[in-house]
Structure 1
Amino acid sequence: MTTRFVYCLFVIDQSLSPLLLIRVSLKKGKSLRQNLKEHGLLEDFLKKHPYNLASKYFPSLANDYASEPLTNYMDIEYYGTISIGTPAQEFSVLFDTGSSNLWVPSVYCSSTSCTNHNKFNPSDSSTYEATNESLSIQYGSGSMTGILAYDTVQHVPDYPHPSPKVGGIVDTKQIFGLSETEPGTAFEYSQFDGILGLAFPSIASSGATPVFDNMMNEGLVSQDLFSVYLSSDEQSGSFVMFGDIDSSYYSGSLNWIPLSAETYWEITMDSITMNGETIACSSGCQAIIDTGTSLLAGPSTGISNIESYIGASDGTGSLKFLPNNYVLFSLVQDSGYCSSGFESIDVSTSSGELWILGDVFISQYYVVFDRANNQVALASVA
């Protein structure tokens, strides 16, 4: 087994000061790939359900014969705890900057995937408000369907520095989905119950108001932004912070990048270079910063150039050390198996080729998602 590390240059400038600490702890859980492998299902799953990572953003690219949602979460999953209803019913959710809806399994769900996850029961909540609206969401090569309703959502906080000024966020009358079907085995073997989307309202299914938009509308956050820190620790340390920034988790300045679209958290990259040599995105390209995607994905030519540069071939490579001012992309590892954190996708937009900067990229930065100014910021983790 060989191990390899890759570094890519990313330079921008500026800074922002932290305010309060209101954060939800995230856990790096056992991956879907690990769970399928342990149940002897991985090989059959991969054969029967090929997928295109970009189909999350362009559903028309999805495999018509696949029924597996969330295959792009197979390698790394960061999820946290929220509660819904009065009294509170707790759920583990994946905080996803690549989608915009909140949904959890419900007692109405008939799929096998719901049998081993927490299920919301409207009858147990005094603040539940039903609607006549339905919900249907396509996650790449799979889907979920259900109904929409309103209830109180509370984000269970994590306080590394307890303070009387710090408190949990209680989001009243939040619209959310109650799943009735969750086809396929991906949800069945995922450790999270549902998904909390943190992208823009423009891509929300059924026009449902996203959680963070509701927070902003109700004045629940001190700033209209949230920040994400993905720890290298296997079990703890990661978090999403709503309305604030904690400068103790990054070094240097926050480097601000304007968004190129208000759908996903999409930015424009000028190029990708290694040791001063442009090896991909030579004419500029688009990139989506997505906490709900494990890997770093890009056009096959660009990915091939990166693999070639580090001496990798057919998923193997040698250990190389490049200058420290480059980003270190961690590797996906499970049960002694190592694979690259890169994946090829070939999708072009009207603004250029598309790259997806998933968790292996995000974990090297403290990332701020700023809705007030439609921009993101990156700073090297401390």
Structure 2
Amino acid sequence: MSRFGIEEEFLFLDEHSLVPVALASGTRERITRLRTGGEVTTEYLTSQIECLTEPVATAVDAEAQLMHLRGLIGWHAREQHAIAAGSGTPFATTRSSTVSPSPHYDEVAEQLGHLTRDHEVNGLHVHVEVADDEGRVRALDRVRGWLPVLLALTGNSPFVNGRDSAFASWRSILIRRLPSSWAPPRFRDYDEYRAGVQRLVDVGALADAASLSWSARISDRYPTVEVRVFDAQLTAEDAVFAALLSRAIVLTDDQPLADIGVDGIDASLWTAARRGMGARLIDPTTGEVEDAWTVADRMRASIAPALRELGDEDRVREGFERLRTLGTGADRQRRAVHDGGAPALAELLRAGTPAPFPASTPAAPRVPAPKP
């Protein structure tokens, strides 16, 4: 059974204003030293942190690790009167986040210039194990056409500067400003893929292959295809749902897909970012324009044999039912703000990274006992 791994990014937000806040001194170091059932690492900004599962074979193992990691960072956030938010963008911002100390991040920040000020974005990345180089190129080509519907299903960044952006995934729009973003081109073989990436480095668009921002790519570190189109998700359950879809698509090697081209995929990615599951998308099985739910149902039918073989069919069905009932993350965030404003949104975000222990509180000052 092909294994997969999940990388989740989180922003630490002030629990009242919901603006990004840097972790307290020493907190990042304490968390990132832990190696129990996954890993926590630093991210681009000092207000960010990333959780990574170990390679797993089942949804149960993936969700258990994510819940453990989310609880860990949720506890540290609560200690600082903050929320570790599983959202593609913060509700509001002061644009004061700073870049984490790292030679690599320094190089990225120099490359991005002023873009860094607005780059408070969180993603969900899914690595799917594929044994050989050429197999990874073929799998990348299979993923390309489904990227828009995957984004539509998982859009979770509706707010910018304390206002509704009118987009389901504002994060995707911010990512679009980066070089080598959104849909990758089609490659004939692994040599052509490597040459294409190296050309982007040579022209100065990328510092290195690790900075590649395509919505799906071949990992430079692991023998995996990495699906990166997703916003960070509200819950571990939502993240695992995205991962199971990714694995099944990567492993379904007999899909008869139309070549709708980079422009067609990017146009559909834009409409998915704008309207979520209300979008019109190009169906990669036919090349025709359909509503997002129709494309999602065809995707599910196309990967059904792989889902059955992997034992994921029931969980994916439940994921679709949950989406039809509750909506996407963007829908849920909007509903929270409509019903109860920023405090209700804070509770929604906090519920995704529940602290397993009560937050410590400062000791009450000692009052001397009265003298007899």
TM-score class normalised by the smaller sequence: under 0.3
Per the normalisation by structure 2, the TM-score is: 0.26
Q: Higher strand proportion, which one?
A: 1
Q: Higher helix proportion, which one?
A: 2
Per the normalisation by structure 1, the TM-score is: 0.26
